[in-house]
Structure 1
Amino acid sequence: MTDTTRKHPIFPPFTDWVDAFALLGGWDGKGPLPGIRVEELVEGDAFVVHAELPGLDPARDIDVTVHDGVLRIHAERHPDKREKQRSEFRYGALAREIRLPQGADDDEIAAEYENGVLTVRVGIARVPTKPRHIPITRIG
């Protein structure tokens, strides 16, 4: 006989455990908030961050700031008021901090949100990668 009145399993699905481990940065507990999945790349003269944030209103739910060379994305997913039979959606605050690369221009940042993905572009100046000889001045 099957009990059809149970709405939630006794233990969460294995994928929930794996996702929680990945989003929290492993067992070291980095940061108090679950993380946001991101993709970082360089396109031409810009450092680009794609953040996976489906189902959010960027004007209300997402905040992007930069301070001391660190890009911070903070988002909050609010539960709707409908009665649910079952939900695997995560609600509450999410955050991610990303150190910007050398040469990043804090004044040249743009963000856009499309199809559940936040894209942040940060201008970067090309930094010389060749070793440079530094002359030494003798004193005394």
Structure 2
Amino acid sequence: MGTPARREARLPDLFDLLEMPFTTLRPFTAQAIRIEDYVDEDKYVIRAELPGIDPDHDVEISVSRGILMIRAERKEEHEGRRHSEFRYGTYERHIRLPENAREEDIKATYDKGVLTITVPLQEAKEATRRIAIER
């Protein structure tokens, strides 16, 4: 008996199954970028998984009206028929920034496949103000 032939159709992995309902709700065809975020003292930090991407040519970061947009593109390097489970194409993520974010001072770095965006935060203004009733 010889070795069994490899199946050409692959079953979706767990992450594919978890993302399926969300991808149908998105109006665009870009894949989501996986992120983690946290507040560290006076800054909001966003870390995004972007392995195998050239940050100088394939990543765009912009901010507008409190929304940070990360867009990346991973292009196939080889042509022809081969087995690959890598994901290629456009990746995009929109993140609402905290109200006290200083958009003009946002910085980004890329190291070992992880994009780190640091958003400085200014002191939060008092959110609630009592209104006096006049007679």
Q: Please classify the TM superposition score into its range, dividing by the shorter chain length.
A: 0.7 to 0.9
d(CA) in 2 for partners of 1:68, 1:62: 20
Question: Is residue 115 of structure 1 aligned with residue 90 of structure 2?
Answer: no
In the alignment, which residue of structure 2 is the partner of 1:19? 15
- Number of the residue aligned with 2:62: 65
SS of match in other structure, 1:104? coil
**Partners of 2:46 and 2:34 in 1: how far apart?**
10
The aligned residue for residue 85 of structure 2 is 88
Higher mean C-alpha displacement, 129-138 vs 65-74? 129-138
Which structure 2 residues correspond to residues 1-140 of structure 1 after superposition, within 5 A?
A: 1-2=1-2, 6=6, 8-10=7-9, 12-15=10-13, 18-23=14-19, 26=22, 28-32=24-28, 33-81=30-78, 83=80, 85-128=82-125, 131-138=128-135
| 1:98 partner SS | strand
| Preserved contact between residue 37 and residue 51 of structure 1 (Cα < 8 Å) | yes
Deviation at 1:78, TM superposition (A): 0.7
CA RMSD of aligned residues (A): 2.4
Post-superposition, which runs of at least 4 consecutive aligned residues in structure 1 deviate over 6 A? none
Alpha-carbon distance in 2 for matches of 1:89, 1:36: 14
Question: Structure 2: 5+ residue runs without aligned partners?
Answer: none
1:78-127: per-residue Cα shift (whole Å, max 9, x none)? Answer: 11026563110011100000000110111110000001000000111121
Amino acid at match of 1:13: L
Change (3 A) 1:50 1:23: farther
Aligned partners of 2:12, 2:5: CA distance in 1, in Å? Answer: 22
Unaligned runs of 5+ in 1: none
Separation (CA, whole Å) in 2 of partners of 1:24 and 1:102: 31
